Amino acid sequence: MKSKVNIKTVSYYATLGILVIFFLMPAYMAVVTALKQPGDITLPTSWDLPATLNWASFSEAFAMLRPNLVNSFILTICATAGSTILGSLNGYVFSKWKFKGSEIIFTLFLFGMFIPYQVILIPLFQTLRAMNLYGGLPGLILAHIVYGLPITSLIFRNFYAQIPDSLIESARLDGAGFFSVYLKLVFPLSIPGFVVTSLWQFTQIWNEFLWAITLTRHSENPITVGLANLAGGQAVSWNLPMAGSIMAALPVLCIYIFLGRYFIRGLLAGSVKE
Amino acid sequence: MADTISQIRAAFHRKSYLFFLGPSLIIMGSLTLYPMVYGIKLSLTRYNLVRPWIPKTFVGLKNFTDFFSDEYLVKSLWVTFKFAMGTVALQVFIGLLVALVLHQILKKTSLLRFMVLLPMLIVPVVTGIIWRLILNDTYGVLNWIIQWLGIAPQLWLGPDLALITVIIVETWAWLPFSILLFSLGLSSIPEQYYEAAAIDGAGPWRTFFTITLPNLRWTLFIVLVFKFSDALKAFDTIYTLTGGGPGIATRALALYVQNRGFTDFEIGYAMALSILVLTISFIIIGPFISRLDKQYE
């Protein structure tokens, strides 16, 4: 009996061990390769730690990707702020200020969530061209705000559903109107909702590639496109794309390390029904 | 007069929600409804951006009937289908297995959970690039490992293996999603069910098939819907790993649409393809939305 338990435990931990290696190996390879001299990256030693730490990879990759990183920060911050604020306003109307037809509009919003990005790509490209917004960051920001709205409105609607209607009613009896109810009562209670939606939006927009590569010209390319171009060039040695990859992955990783538990907590809070 | 003003004021108060909803409706209308209508119109035309001397002409449903003679479309549908089957099967089986193991031995070990979640947080383009290093046939660590095991090095991104490799990398990136969902599903099964099964003398397999699996139905359904619709959208990882190649061996639907639209600039035909993708994805998502409504009734 005892040995049976041991075999079971051993097989559990073996499974986990394989899993951890499978998941962490790419991260290890990225860090190790980024820190090597270009000449030291060879097959027999690819697995080894670098003999000397080559921090220059990072400064060199940063010099190449700096414009892309700046573009990505502008894009992500503007589009996250825009879609989150508008989502909060929509969620407020959809949950606390229902009117005739609001359910239909909300359902239409939800359909937007399921439209794959590549389906809208071509008409979006044509529309942005007609609006003179094709190629630059403002057009891409606008596109991300629009396609973020369904999910942000949904999260805020579910979040505001937890605020008791009686609270809104009593504020209205005290003479508060549509705007002052939002500003004085609903908005101050929304901070966790803002954390969840902006984390979600930040990740989505930072990581997005298809629109970024299709809708922006070279000088306005976000980091995903800049990195793909850097890695696509055959002449570049591997330490640079790896250093660039680490830089591209860091913002989202940091945000989750520091704010991740608020995210999980907020998601759970948002999913609780009325 | 005062009466009119107060009427206007009352109307203003009644419609004040429009100030909040209005901006969203306007920009959503201009960047979703208008493009969709315009896109449907485009799909009925022959319109090539790099050959402006050929006028944009109305061709009716020709773009759609052209699907049947487009062998590249058939190939990319076949690639997408194999990709979907491969990623769904791997992610469901391994995801469930790992979730079961985690559920057995861990209550809350956040470091391990973080490590398992890591791939999901990494930019998909980065995933593609890092794996290209690992899979590289001359410096890649994977060939080093299999040589050490006494197997000949392989061309992982060559014509024979590229699709399988892409499926495995995609699984690496998205396995956390299914592990997470299955873990949540498992932890919502009441402990009493297992106690009752143990009293009835059910073995581990019987317990799994009569209690665990039926209670994970809804989770399984969600995983399947999301993974199948993700396969339709798969772009970033494939683009950075293989660019759809070698040849067209890994050119899934999303890459094919992008190629036709932005490499060949066949805007009309690419739009017709987009409508095909949208139809397929609504066929997959449709049952999910109707079930979702029931779930929350």
Q: Which two tokens stand for residue A57?
A: 């990879």
Q: Does CATH place domain A56-269 in 3.20.10.10?
A: no
- Whether residue B225 lies inside any domain: the answer is yes
The stretch B274-282 carries a mean pLDDT of 86
In a domain, B68, yes or no: no
Q: Which of A32-46, A94-108, A146-160, B80-94 has the highest mean pLDDT?
A: B80-94
Chain segment B217-267, per-residue pLDDT in tens: 888 888 888 888 888 888 888 888 888 778 788 888 888 888 888 888 888
Residue A165, CA atoms < 13 Å, CB-side half-sphere: 7
> pTM for the full model?
0.80
Kindly state the tokens that stand for B183: 């873990």
- Separation CA B196–CA B212 (nearest Å): 13
Residue owning tokens 């058939």: B74
B57 forms bridges with which residues in the sheet? B46
Model confidence band, residue A73 (pLDDT cutoffs 50, 70, 90): very high
From B158's Cα to the closest Cα of chain A, the distance in A is: 17
pLDDT of B116: 64
Distance from CA of A119 to the nearest CA of B (A): 5
Lowest mean pLDDT among A96-100, A189-193, A196-200: A96-100
Contacts of B239 in chain A (CB under 8 A): 209, 228
From A97, A123, A210, residue closest to B235, measured CB to CB: A210
CB of A46 within 8 Å of a chain B CB? The answer is yes
Nearest to A214 among B258, B285, B289 (CB): B258
B108 DSSP β-pair partners: none
User: Considering only CB atoms, which chain A residues are within 8 Å of B123?
Assistant: 206-207, 223-224, 227, 245, 248-249, 252
> Which residues of B fall within a CB distance of 8 Å from A241?
129, 133
Q: Which domain holds residue B288?
A: 82-295
Q: Do A228 and B239 touch (CB under 8 A)?
A: yes
- Whether A273 shows a pLDDT value over 60: the answer reads no
Interface test with B, best of A69, A115, A119, A178 (most B CBs within 10 A): A119
Contact (Cβ atoms closer than 8 angstroms) between residue A160 and residue A186: yes
Residue A212 contacts residue A135 (beta carbons within 8 Å): no
pLDDT at A245 over 80: yes
Find how far residue B144's CA is from the centre of its chain.
32
Mean pLDDT of A159-183: 83
- pLDDT value at residue A264: 61
CA distances for A118 relative to A32, A106, A148, A213, B231, angstroms: 35, 23, 15, 12, 12
**Within chain A, which residue ranges are assigned CATH 1.10.3720.10?**
56-269
CATH number of the domain that residue B107 is part of = 1.10.3720.10
> B38 exposed, middle or buried (CB, 10 Å; 0-12, 13-18, 19+)?
middle
Best mean pLDDT range from A51-65, A139-153, B4-18, B47-61: A139-153
Amino acid A76: pLDDT? 94
| Rounded (to 5) percent helix, strand, coil in chain B | 75, 0, 25
pLDDT at A2 over 70: no
Q: Quick one: DSSP state of residue A219?
A: G
For residue B10, pLDDT beyond 90: no
Q: Do B121 and A231 touch (CB under 8 A)?
A: no
Looking at the predicted complex, does its ipTM rise above 0.85?
no
pLDDT on residue B205:
84
Residue B11 forms contact with A (CB below 8 Å) = no
What does the pLDDT read at residue A266? 58
Interface of A with B in 105-164 (CB under 8 A): 105, 109-110, 112, 114-127, 131, 142-143, 145-147, 149, 153
For residue B46, being part of any structural domain is answered with no
In this structure, of A5-9, A62-66, B293-297, the range with the lowest mean pLDDT score is B293-297
User: How far does Cα B169 stand from its chain's mean position?
Assistant: 14
Residue A92 at interface with chain B, using a CB cutoff of 8 Å: yes
Cα–Cα distance measured from residue B110 to residue B186, given in angstroms and rounded to the nearest whole number: 17
Output b/e per residue, B230-260; b: 16+ Cβ within 10 A: bbbbbbbbbbbbbbbbeeebbbbbbbbbbbb
Window A:167-206, CB contacts with B under 8 Å? 177-179, 182, 203, 206
Asked if residue B163 belongs to a domain, the reply is yes
Interchain proximity B17–A99, CB inside 8 Å: yes
Residue whose structure tokens are 């201009």: B30
Q: What percent of chain B has pLDDT over 70?
A: 89
**Model pLDDT for residues B140-187, shown as the tens digit of each residue:** 778 778 878 878 777 878 788 888 889 988 888 888 888 888 887 887
Number of domains in chain B: 1
Task: Count Cα atoms within 13 angstroms, Cβ side, for B203.
Answer: 1
- Of the pLDDT bands very low, low, confident and very high (cuts 50, 70, 90), residue A272 is very low
Which of B12-16, B83-87, B101-105 tops mean pLDDT? B83-87
